[in-house]
Each structure stands twice: as structure tokens, then as C-alpha cells.
């Protein structure tokens, strides 16, 4: 079975299926089409599937031209028909793994994907999860669901884990140029999984098990989360000491060894870093092991929006204005610079906290003209980006995301007060109306 599938992969005749056509799944399937594979993209979202069939994008940094190019090959099919799963030789699962309101893993999308596959499974398929999750998801949760069909993992089908490493709109790295970690609990299955991903990425990094691969992804993001928490804590301290934390970090970064710069912000955003540490702390309870360091980092990062709101309140007070009843323009609702991705964006929490205090909040984001429906902040859906033509009417401009196409010098000239959480306005400008947060 394994040798037959590997041969099909090497011949580019293996049909690759991607379940979940979002920020991870869509770039992945594009690479497989480009490398000559027949590809089927499955999603329950009819709007996404319709857009792809029409040659239109729904992710800003992926142009419609790219969608039209893969359609023109004749090797790509977008569908909502689950029966197409039977045609897939390799099934790559790229679905969300959010947290519940209790900050525990929400495996709804992974479970539903496995149930979907179970209804359409056949012998000889490779099934790989790409979603970030806790160690044990693949060989416990997924395996249990899939084996209820009577088929056995790594005998009748290959079960693997290969974590996504997407960084939307990163100009230096793309899906094909980022090394890919692959894990499988069967050595022969690992070789087949490696062969599949080696067809599209610059390098594969095989590890001994699915658990090791799952843990690798968590370590990558916990490393970032803990270090960002450190500089966020330093920012709060240095603010009280009247020290510019960005100046300090940039100076420390000149050391050619032993220091990696991380930068503070208004809170954590994105699909990984705000969530992944909690996946490991949850799993650690099963082993009666505390994860104090990780949990402390999570607490600090989660607290940052409240710190920013307090800074806005104090800054307004110094200008003779109360937060309650004030008009605030929040710049940027994307979770990071120059993208249209709002997943876990701290800006949404900032809007809610400011409005809870009685402020009137508008937002401006050149990449997000209207706030879409989100799992945790659906009350904000439908709000539209405000113009920057009347900056002077606001009591405060709060910079939450430092998009490069915003003309900050014009903002400085017009705004009564600016609270800058991203160091978008350099200290060298000596702008008296700018407060750091």
C-alpha cells in the first residue's frame, strides 16, 4: 500500500485533497497545483468555494490572478461535496483549532473533519493534520475516530501530522520556502509523508512520532509567546520609569550573540501565539505537571489590552478629557501590519474595553473595510472603516496596528492626542501629542 502511494506521489499522479481553504489550506493547495498534482479543495463555506471557481480571492495577500492560474491548469477542483474525499490519495486537514470560553482546546473542527473523512475513507489514503494542537491529538483523538470504520491506522491508511508554519504576507518566506516538520508513528508511513511534502517545500524535517511533531509546533509558538510577554512586562515597567522600551530593545539587539529582539504590542493576535500555549497547559494537567512559566506569559499577554486602555484613560485625563464620552479613532484592526487577517486581533478587545468605559470608538484599517463575523467578537460585525479626513474631530487616535500605508506624519499634524502601541511614530519626531503604550 505504502509503495503504491509513494510511487503515485513521485509521478505527480496522486490526488491531493485539502480540507479547509483558509489562510493555511489555500496557500498549501496552490503549491501542490503548481508542482503538477491534481488537487481537490474542500470547504463547507459555499462562498469560498464559489469565489475559487470564479477565479476570485478572499485572502488579500493571495491575488485573484493566482486563483485564475491554478484554475487554468485544469488540475484544481474546489468543492463542498464530501464524496470527493474518496478521490483523494492524500488528505491534508487545515481547519481551525480555537479555544473554548474556558480557555480549553476546542477540537470541534478536527472532529468534524475526521467524521467527514470516515464517511468517505478508502484503503491506501494518507491523512495528515496540519492544525496546531496538543500532543496526542493525532494518535488518540483522530485515530480513534478513523479506526471506527474498521480500517487500521498505518496499515490500511497512513496517519501523520505536519504542522503549518504560515506567516501571512511574509515577504521573505512562503509555503514552499519554509522547512516542513513531518511526524508519523509508522516509519514507512513517514517516508511517504516526507515524499509528499518534499514535492512542494525546500526541506522536510522528519521526527520520530506525531506527538513529537505536535510538540514541535507548540514549542515554536510558546517560545515567541513567552518572549513577547517578557518585553510586554518590560514595557509596562519602563513606561513607569520613563524609558523608551523600543530604544532599549534596538540597542540590545546590536549584540551579535545571546540576544534575539522581540517587540511589545497591545496584546497578542493571530491564529497561533495567543492560543497554542493553552493547548499545552491543558494537556499538562493530565500528567499532573504545572506549567507556571507558560501560564504567566499568557496572563501578561492577555492583560495588555487593559494596560493600553488605562494608558489611553490617563493620557486623556492629562489633556483635560475623561475617557467616558470621548471620541477615539483606533488605527488598525488586523492582528499585524499590512494584512487583512483579524484572527484573535487585540484590536477587537480594545474596542470592547473602550466602549465598556463609555468611549465612542471608530476604526480605520486600509486592509479591512468592514469587520466580519468572528467567533468571539460578533457584536462588532458590520462596522465600517472610517475615513482619515477628519482625524482632528477625535479626542484620541489609538495606534493598534502599524500599517505601512498610513501617513503617520499627517496624523501627528492633525490629531489632538495619539497613543502609540506599536512605535509607529519614532521618538526622533519629538511629537508632543504622542504617548507610548
**Which residues have a catalytic role annotated?**
272
Handedness of CA 313, 317, 321, 324 (dihedral sign): positive
Considering only the C-alpha atoms of the chain, give the largest distance between any 2 of them, rounded to a whole number of Å.
75
Handedness of CA 179, 180, 183, 188 (dihedral sign): negative
In the three-class reduction of DSSP (H, G, I as helix; E, B as strand; rest coil), residue 42 is classed as strand
Pairing status of strand 396-399 against strand 434-436: unpaired
Burial class (CB in 10 A: 0-12, 13-18, 19+), 40: buried
Reduce the secondary structure of 44-107 to three states and give it as a string.
CCHHHHHHHHCCCCCCCCCCHHHHHHHHHCCCEEEECCHHHHHHCCEEEECCCCCECCCCCECC
Are residues 347 and 332 in contact, defined by beta-carbon separation less than 8 angstroms?
yes
Q: Who's near 21: CB < 8 A, 6+ residues apart? A: 29, 41, 42, 43, 45, 48, 49, 52, 78, 94
List helix spans (H) across 276-425: 276-284, 292-318, 346-356, 408-414
- Which contiguous run of DSSP H or E holds residue 3? helix 2-10
In the three-class reduction of DSSP (H, G, I as helix; E, B as strand; rest coil), residue 159 is classed as strand
Cα 256 to its chain centre, rounded Å, is 30
**DSSP bridge pairs for 329:** 362, 397
Distance in angstroms (rounded) separating the CA atoms of residues 160 and 429: 53
Cα radius of gyration (the chain)? 23
Amino acid at each position: 500500500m505504502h509503495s503504491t502511494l509513494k510511487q503515485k506521489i513521485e509521478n505527480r499522479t496522486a490526488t491531493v485533497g485539502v480540507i479547509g481553504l483558509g489562510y493555511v489550506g489555500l496557500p498549501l493547495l496552490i503549491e501542490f497545483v503548481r508542482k503538477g498534482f491534481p488537487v481537490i479543495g474542500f470547504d463547507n463555506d459555499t462562498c469560498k468555494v464559489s469565489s475559487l471557481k470564479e477565479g476570485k480571492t478572499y485572502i488579500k495577500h493571495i491575488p485573484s490572478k493566482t486563483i485564475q492560474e491554478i484554475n487554468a491548469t485544469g488540475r484544481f477542483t474546489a468543492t463542498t461535496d464530501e464524496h470527493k474525499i474518496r478521490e483523494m490519495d492524500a488528505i491534508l486537514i487545515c481547519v481551525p483549532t480555537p479555544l473554548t470560553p474556558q480557555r480549553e482546546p476546542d477540537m470541534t473542527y478536527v472532529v468534524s473533519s475526521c467524521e467527514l473523512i470516515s464517511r468517505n475513507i478508502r484503503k491506501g489514503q494518507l491523512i495528515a493534520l496540519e492544525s496546531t494542537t496538543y500532543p496526542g491529538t493525532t494518535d488518540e483523538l483522530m485515530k480513534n475516530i478513523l479506526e471506527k470504520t474498521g480500517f487500521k491506522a498505518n496499515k490500511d491508511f497512513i496517519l501523520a501530522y505536519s504542522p503549518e508554519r504560515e506567516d501571512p504576507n511574509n515577504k521573505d518566506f512562503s509555503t514552499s520556502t519554509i522547512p516542513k516538520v513531518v511526524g508519523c508513528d509508522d516509519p514507512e508511513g513517514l517516508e511517504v509523508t516526507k515524499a509528499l511534502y518534499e514535492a512542494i517545500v525546500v526541506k522536510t524535517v522528519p521526527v520520530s512520532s506525531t506527538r513529537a511533531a505536535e510538540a514541535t509546533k507548540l514549542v515554536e509558538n510558546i517560545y515567541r509567546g513567552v518572549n513577547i510577554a517578557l518585553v510586554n512586562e518590560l514595557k509596562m515597567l519602563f513606561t513607569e520609569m520613563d524609558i523608551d522600551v523600543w530604544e532599549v530593545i534596538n540597542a540590545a539587539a546590536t549584540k551579535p550573540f545571546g540576544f534575539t529582539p522581540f517587540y511589545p504590542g497591545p496584546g497578542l493576535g493571530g491564529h497561533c501565539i495567543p492560543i497554542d500555549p493553552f493547548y499545552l497547559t491543558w494537556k499538562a494537567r493530565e500528567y499532573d505537571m504545572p506549567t507556571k512559566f507558560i501560564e504567566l506569559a499568557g496572563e501578561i499577554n492577555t492583560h495588555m489590552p487593559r494596560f493600553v486602555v488605562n494608558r489611553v484613560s490617563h493620557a486623556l485625563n492629562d489633556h483635560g478629557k475623561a475617557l467616558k464620552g470621548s471620541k477615539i479613532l483606533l488605527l488598525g484592526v488586523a492582528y499585524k501590519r499590512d494584512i487583512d487577517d483579524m484572527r484573535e486581533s487585540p484590536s477587537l478587545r480594545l474596542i470592547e474595553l473602550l466602549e465598556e468605559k463609555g468611549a465612542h470608538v471608530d476604526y480605520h484599517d486600509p486592509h479591512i473595510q468592514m469587520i466580519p463575523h468572528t467567533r468571539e467578537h460578533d457584536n462588532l460585525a458590520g462596522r465600517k472603516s472610517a475615513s482619515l479626513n477628519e482625524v482632528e474631530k477625535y479626542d484620541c487616535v489609538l495606534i493598534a496596528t502599524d500599517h505601512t500605508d498610513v501617513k503617520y506624519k499627517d496624523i501627528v499634524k492633525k490629531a489632538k492626542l495619539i497613543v502609540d502601541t506599536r512605535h509607529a511614530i519614532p521618538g526622533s519626531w519629538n511629537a508632543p501629542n504622542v504617548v507610548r503604550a
